[in-house]
Chain A
Amino acid sequence: MKHSSYLESLIGPSGDVSPLRSILFDGVTGLPTLPLVIESLKDVASEQNRIGIIFVDTTGLEPLEQEHGWESLDALLNQVRVFLDSVVARFAPLKLFSIHRVSGDDFILVLSSSDSSIPVSNSQVAEVSSNLQDLLNDYLCLKMPASLLPFARVFSGHALLEYSTNLRFERLLSRSINKAFQIAVSQQLRARETHVHELHEIVNSDRIRTLFQPIVSLENLADVLGHEALSRGPEGTLFETAEFMFTLAAQSGILHRLENVCQLQLLSILQKSSSSKLIFVNLEPSFLEQDLYQRLALFQHEDLDRQNLVLEITERIAITDYEIVAKSLEAIRKLGFRIAVDDVGSGYASLQSIAYLKPDFIKISEKMVQGISKDFIKQEIVKTLRDMGGRFSATLIAEGIEDEKDLHTLQELKVQFGQGFLLKRPDERLLG
């Protein structure tokens, strides 16, 4: 990259945050912005006649920021950028002329040739693009937390920019970038269609598994309060991550059918079981607004003791329409079910809005639980929830306990119950 030492003196040394530097260079990766290199890009394009453009479209990385903080996402983007460098290096004489980060988590790569006698060809750029896509997806498998992985995918598209003096270079460049972008997007759409098709097949053939995760007393780990019923797609597929399966079902309009399959399966297990412990069942928030009674009718079976059923709703609903939510919860209570608010501490609802729901159980999100032994603010949050829960006799349950030290901290904080791999793994059988 050529930028004069005059420019360097104007913008200050790297690592320094001057306003000019932040305009010309990306604050996260330190990469130059397109306007900064456009002149040298034009030079190389006119010299070599052709340059390659690759658009790398990453999807599903945002939850990393929401759940693990902006430092995590920035670190990942930096790793991806270094990785892009090393991948292209394998395709000599193609060389990476520059990389630019655009719209948050996408990248534009400009490829030129290191040997001016061998100009860049379309097939070469296509090969790099498809290799990048495969390798980056493998790379994300290693780097993303398992729960976020099904959402994280990379799609890439390519284009060849043929230099012409008839058109302004900026226009040529934006056309090529747009073409590469369109290809990446169409790949994304195709991948999605495949997933939707797979999900339809799973629902039509009832290939849903119901697992039961024990919820135990943290004072006496052998003491089981009840089980959370978890619906999972077939093993070894992306649909094993419930959130992915339900999100896709909601987006493709088959959420109700999926829920039916899940609940009928749960019911058939419950009817055969002799367990007298509590059963926690997740209730899709959208059912509070419509079809609530139809949904609940499934559970009003004479063989089932409604007092033992706890319907879990996510804290996210606390920020939607209060009146509808309050009315629905009232209806649920009248029918004899109990209510748990799930995912508490994931950042959507305030203390006040959770208190407003007056749940029987408060389930502390695994995001709050994991790493709590070393995180003083998480400890502060759990203390606050405990004190609030105490005021209207809600029982506290910590989710996702996977670490001994976190368990000890939760015990010290006097959290009554917990669930997680460290305590007991989910099981297909309903024990106790």
Chain B
Amino acid sequence: MLIVDDDQALLEMVSECLASAGYLPLQAANGLDGLKKLDSNAPDMAILDINMPELDGLQTCRLIRAKEKFRSLPILMLTGRGDIKDMIEARKMGADDYLVKPFEPSVLIEKIERLFQR
């Protein structure tokens, strides 16, 4: 499970939450790092924070989708804002689900499982 966020504390929190649910977390601190790790590790899902400096989550998402082999990779976006405009933008870029921070770990795991079931 690739998780990309520039906020180290959140990165740790999500990683812990994923690990306790039996998933193997793979951390990346920014969009470019995320893209590199995606290529070399081929994870089963990508969790991207939208607000990141330089390459943000939306741009990263679009770049991931531009690659043939990642067309159907489940992508979950994390964001501090729950506005419909941002959600629509995330959909356009090819994301599959959207989660507003702060969130309960159980909600994150629920969303991940739902994405895998699809």
Q: Does A377 contact B (CB under 8 A)?
A: yes
CB of B115, distance to nearest CB on chain A (Å): 7
Instruction: Tell yes or no: A375 within 8 A of B by CB.
Output: yes
**Who on chain B is nearest to A382 by CB?**
B84
The answer for the CA separation of A376 and B118 in the assembled complex, in Å, is: 10
What is the distance, in angstroms, from A78's C-beta to the closest C-beta of chain B? 13
Q: In the complex the two chains form, what is the Cα distance from A376 to B113 in whole Å?
A: 12
Is A71 a contact of B94 with CB atoms below 8 Å?
A: yes
- Which of B26-34, B40-48, B95-103 lines the interface with chain A? B95-103
Contacting B84 at CB < 8 Å: which of A15, A374, A375, A385?
Answer: A385
Q: B82 on the interface (CB 8 Å rule)?
A: yes
- Min CB distance, B64 to chain A, in Å? 12
**Residue of A at shortest CB range from B74?**
A376
Q: Is B91 an interface residue (CB 8 A)?
A: yes
Interface 1/0 per residue, B51-88 and A, CB below 8 Å: 00000000000000111100000000000001111011
Say which one of A122-130, A296-304, A346-354 lies at the interface with B.
Answer: A346-354
User: For the complex, is A69 an interface residue (Cβ under 8 Å from B)?
Assistant: yes
Q: Are B83 and A351 within 8 A (Cβ)?
A: yes
A322 interface contact, C-beta 8 A: no
Closest Cβ of chain B: how far from A421's Cβ, in Å? 24
Partner of A351, one of B65, B84, B90: B84
Which residues of chain B come closer than 8 Å to A381, judged between CB atoms? 84, 87-88
List residues of chain A with CB within 8 A of the CB of B91. Answer: 69, 375, 377-378
Residues of A within 8 A of B87 (CB): 377, 380-381, 384
B66 x A17 contact (CB < 8 A): yes
Hey, which chain B residues are within 8 Å of A70, CB to CB?
Answer: 92
Tell whether, in the assembled complex, residue A376 and residue B84 are in contact, meaning their CB atoms are under 8 Å apart: no
Which of B67, B85, B98 contacts A377, CB < 8 Å? B98
In the bound complex, CA of A100 to CA of B111 (Å): 43
Would B92 and A376 count as touching, CB distance under 8 A?
Answer: no
Do A376 and B88 form a contact, CB below 8 Å, given A15-B68, A17-B66?
no
- Taking the closest CB of chain B, its distance from the CB of A425, in whole angstroms, is 29
Complex CA distance for A171 and B76, rounded to whole angstroms: 51
B90 (CB) vs chain A CBs: closest residue: A377
A residues 100-148 in Cβ contact with B at 8 Å: none
Given A15-B68, A377-B91, A377-B96, A384 and B118 contact (CB-CB distance below 8 Å): no
Q: Which of A347, A352, A378 has its CB near the most chain B CB atoms (within 10 A)? A: A347
Interface status of A214 (Cβ within 8 A of chain B): no
One of A15, A69, A349 near B94 (C-beta < 8 A): A69
Inside 8 A of B88's CB, which chain A residues have their CB? 345, 347, 381
The 8 closest A-B pairs by CB, nearest first: A376-B97, A347-B88, A350-B85, A377-B91, A380-B98, A351-B83, A377-B98, A381-B87
Please report B residues at the A interface, Cβ cutoff 8 Å. Answer: 65-68, 82-85, 87-92, 94-98, 111, 114-115, 118
26 contacts between A and B (CB under 8 A): A17-B66, A17-B67, A69-B91, A69-B92, A70-B92, A71-B65, A71-B94, A347-B85, A347-B89, A350-B84, A350-B85, A351-B82, A351-B83, A374-B118, A376-B96, A376-B97, A376-B111, A377-B95, A377-B97, A378-B91, A380-B87, A380-B97, A380-B98, A381-B84, A381-B87, A384-B84
Other A-B pairs beyond A69-B91, A350-B85, 4, CB < 8 Å: A70-B92, A351-B82, A376-B114, A384-B84
